[in-house]
């Protein structure tokens, strides 16, 4: 049912638009504007700086791995949370949200305390085994995966609840084993939630700063990701490069979101 | 043969869902598990299918002990109350699912799906998604999907429970005719006594986790083993110290040998039948007695509200002692 439009409707709409404009649209558009202040100069400068190129590549590499880990782990944990009853399920569910509520800096420190190669709890033994975690890509992936961990799970859990177990049971009664049931029934049913979770997770991973800054050591050309590079260039009076890098980061994230919303079927595919 | 159930017990925590169930379901018949909600009948069906495990006891399907066989290896067709349609697959794909899992050749799958689409009258709908079908169509699709694997038994869990009254009645008749064609051993769960009486060859009444009575629809209706079966299968009223169905009471305006006498104090007409309430003169049994007559009978007997009437069981009716 549609309510008649009153002055109130327009006032409320105006408020929402103004809020979004002042908080999101305008500031972001300023980044874009500054990027293209001198035509394509800023972008060219940035892309000819080997440290920036390396940072962008590292960011994409880290983000892809973090997303892969979060997808596999996220699907597993979501199924565990929804389909199984076990002691401590409530605690697990609450813990999953922790990375969203705790400051990434704290996450970085915590990881460093565990995996730091000299003083960390596990770090020295891992180093002896030849695995360098802190101040290395592995540590950056770990930190990134940690902060974006809940995104896939929070997308999947409500959908898994909603589809229920009837279809899975029907598949089993028709002869499908657990893996066939998962691949042919469960996965296609949660496909869009999973894609959405993955995109959010990717966007978050590209933009992670705090945890990565502590865990990576921030060494340009070695462990510096794009966000860290933006900060350094900005403080180094290379604002143009900073804007250009920011623009590229935002572009990848926005592009991913746009692609998904274009691909996602318009009508509700679930029926009733 | 058919399904042999021996000594099944099932607990949910402290709650006894099923208590020492022993039941033989003959091959090729349509058997109804009837009882009130929460009585354990669905649990029993799910145990037969392997979707639920029993705490003790054994299940044999067509002579094979399947107690420890997982659901996917039991070759049982299961139809759910809410269809459990695979929402992302077309009708044809839904029906083909079991055959594709069994890796049957493509041509064979295609032919079989066509055959089943025809059987459930969904030929026109094979490329639609379940969300584009009505409830009755979805349930027919679910039935075709279950039949596709040529199951040794077909189990239906309140199959028409989510449908409206008219479609329900149609599907019920259709299921009966389908069963006469296909002859697969079929068990269906329902809490609707009319559905059970109309469709099934034999009935199993289950209440509070126990079997109350097993028999043909006639047996159960005419010779109920307990008050519970009597009252669950249809309306019941108390005449003297016996329980009887309201339409099994002979009513007369003239003095006759009677179990009870009284005055008609309420008169409700519902379609072709008239439901009367007679308040007995006997102060020891003051509860009103329900009597049902057809409109034609009421006219023939000259009944009116407020008449003094004499009541007794109709000839041949054996009331159950209360």
Question: Considering only CB atoms, which residues of chain A are within 8 Å of chain B?
Answer: 163, 166-167, 169-177, 180, 184-185, 188-189, 191, 269-272
Give contacts of A185 with chain B, Cβ < 8 Å: 86
Residue B100's CB: how many other CB atoms inside 10 A? 17
Q: What pLDDT is attached to residue A267? A: 53
Measured torsion, CA atoms of residues A195, A198, A199, A201, in degrees rounded to the nearest 10 = 160
The distance in angstroms from the start CA to the end CA of chain A is 18
Enumerate the residues of chain B whose CB falls inside 8 A of the CB of residue A184.
Answer: 97
Contacts A177 to B, Cβ<8 Å? 72
Considering only CB atoms, which chain A residues are within 8 Å of B84? Answer: 166-167, 169-170
Mean pLDDT of the region A176-202: 93
What are residue B268's DSSP bridge partners?
Answer: B275
Band of pLDDT at residue A271, cut at 50, 70 and 90:
very low
- Name the DSSP letter for residue B71: G
Question: Shortest CB distance from B101 goes to which of A163, A176, A269?
Answer: A176
Longest dimension (CA), chain B: 78
CA distance A187 to chain B (A): 10
The residues, any chain, with a CB within 8 Å of residue A13's CB and separated by 6 or more, are: none
Residue of B nearest to A191 (CA): B88
Q: Tell me what the mean pLDDT of segment A170-187 comes to.
A: 94
Using CB atoms, pick whichever of A163, A166, A175 lies closest to residue B102. A175
In Å, how far is A158's CA from the nearest CA of chain B? 17
Beta-carbon separation of B71 and A269 below 8 A? no
How far away is chain B from the Cα of A177, in angstroms, using its nearest Cα? 6
Distance from CA of A176 to the nearest CA of B (A): 6
* Average pLDDT of the residues in A224-241: 89
DSSP string, A121-155: SSHHHHHHTT---TTSHHHHHHHHHHHHHHHHHHH
**Rounded distance between C-alpha atoms, residue A124 and residue A117, angstroms:** 5
Query: In terms of Cα–Cα distance, which of B190, B171, B157 is closest to B80?
Result: B157
Q: How far is A22 from chain B (nearest CA, A)?
A: 41
What's the confidence (pLDDT) of residue B187? 95
Residue A43 Ramachandran class (φ > 0 left, ψ -120 to 50 alpha, else beta): alpha
Judged by CB atoms closer than 8 Å, whether chains meet at B130 and A175 is answered as: no
> Which run of H or of E encompasses A57?
helix A50-83
Interchain pair A174, B98: CB under 8 A:
yes
Percent of chain A with pLDDT over 90: 42
| Yes or no, beta carbons of B86 and A175 under 8 Å apart | no
Question: Which chain A residues contact residue B97 at CB under 8 A?
Answer: 171, 174, 176, 184
Q: Is the Cα dihedral A172, A175, A178, A183 positive or negative?
A: negative
* Residue ranges, chain B, pLDDT below 70: none
Size of the A and B interface in Cβ pairs below 8 Å:
74
Task: Report the pLDDT value the prediction gives residue A97, as an integer from 0 to 100.
Answer: 86
Phi, psi of A204 (to 5 degrees): -65, -40
**What is the pLDDT at residue A55?**
93
Q: Is the pLDDT at A266 greater than 70, yes or no?
A: no
Contact in structure between A226 and A54 (CB atoms under 8 Å): no
Contact check, Cβ <8 Å, B72/A184: no
CA distance A169 to A217: 50
pLDDT for res B118: 92
User: A118-141: per-residue pLDDT in tens?
Assistant: 777 787 888 888 888 888 889 999
Q: Is B107 exposed, middle or buried (0-12, 13-18, 19+ CB in 10 A)?
A: exposed
């Amino acid at each position: 049912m549609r309510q008649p439009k009153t002055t109130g409707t327009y006032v409320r709409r105006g408020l929402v638009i103004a809020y979004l404009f002042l908080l999101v649209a305008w500031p972001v558009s300023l980044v874009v504007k500054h990027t293209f202040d001198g035509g394509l100069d800023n972008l060219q400068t940035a892309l000819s700086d080997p440290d920036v190129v390396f940072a962008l590549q590292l960011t994409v590499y880290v983000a892809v791995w973090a997303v892969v880990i979060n997808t596999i782990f996220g699907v597993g944990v979501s199924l565990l949370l929804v389909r199984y009853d076990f002691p401590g399920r409530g605690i697990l569910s609450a813990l999953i949200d922790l990375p969203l509520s705790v400051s990434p800096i704290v996450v970085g420190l915590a990881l460093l305390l565990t995996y730091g190669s000299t003083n960390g709890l596990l770090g020295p033994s891992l180093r002896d085994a030849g695995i360098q975690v802190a101040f290395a890509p592995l540590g950056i992936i770990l930190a990134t995966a940690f902060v974006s961990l809940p995104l896939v799970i929070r997308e999947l859990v409500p959908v898994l609840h909603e589809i229920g177990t009837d279809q899975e049971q029907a598949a089993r009664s028709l002869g499908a084993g657990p893996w066939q049931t998962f691949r042919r029934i469960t996965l296609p049913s949660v496909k869009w939630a999973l894609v959405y979770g993955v995109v959010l997770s990717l966007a978050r991973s590209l933009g992670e700063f705090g945890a990565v800054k502590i865990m990576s050591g921030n060494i340009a050309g070695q462990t510096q990701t794009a966000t860290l590079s933006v900060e350094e260039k900005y403080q180094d009076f290379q604002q143009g490069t900073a804007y250009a890098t920011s623009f590229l980061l935002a572009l990848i994230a926005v592009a991913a979101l746009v692609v998904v919303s274009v691909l996602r079927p318009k009508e509700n595919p679930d029926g009733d | 043969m058919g399904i042999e159930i021996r000594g099944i017990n099932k607990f949910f925590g402290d709650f006894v869902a099923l208590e020492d169930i022993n039941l033989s379901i003959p091959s090729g018949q349509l058997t109804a598990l009837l009882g009130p909600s929460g009585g354990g009948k669905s649990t029993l069906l799910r145990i037969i299918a392997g979707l639920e495990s029993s705490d003790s006891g054994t299940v044999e399907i067509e002579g094979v002990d399947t107690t420890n066989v997982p659901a996917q290896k039991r070759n049982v067709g299961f139809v759910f109350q809410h269809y459990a349609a695979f929402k992302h697959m077309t009708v044809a794909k839904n029906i083909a699912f079991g055959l594709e899992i069994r890796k049957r050749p493509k041509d064979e799958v295609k032919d079989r799906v066509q055959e089943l689409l025809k059987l459930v009258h969904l030929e026109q709908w094979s490329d639609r998604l379940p969300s584009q079908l009505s409830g009755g169509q979805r349930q027919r699709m679910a039935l075709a999907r279950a039949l596709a694997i040529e199951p040794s038994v077909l189990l239906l869990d309140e199959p028409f429970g989510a449908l409206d009254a008219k479609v329900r009645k149609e599907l019920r008749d259709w299921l009966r005719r389908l069963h006469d064609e296909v002859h697969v051993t079929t068990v269906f769960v329902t809490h609707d006594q009319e559905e059970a009486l109309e469709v099934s060859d034999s009935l199993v009444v289950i209440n509070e986790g126990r079997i109350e009575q097993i028999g043909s629809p006639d047996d159960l209706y005419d010779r109920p083993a307990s008050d519970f079966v009597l009252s669950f299968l249809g309306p019941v009223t108390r005449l003297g110290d016996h329980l009887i169905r309201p339409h099994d009471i002979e009513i007369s305006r003239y003095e006759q040998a009677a179990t009870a006498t009284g005055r008609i104090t309420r008169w409700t007409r519902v379609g072709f039948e008239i439901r009367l309430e007679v308040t007995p003169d006997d102060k020891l049994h003051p509860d009103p007695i329900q009597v049902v007559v057809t409109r034609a009978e009421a006219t023939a007997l000259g009944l009116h509200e407020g008449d003094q009437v004499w009541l007794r069981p109709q000839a041949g009716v054996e009331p159950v002692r209360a």
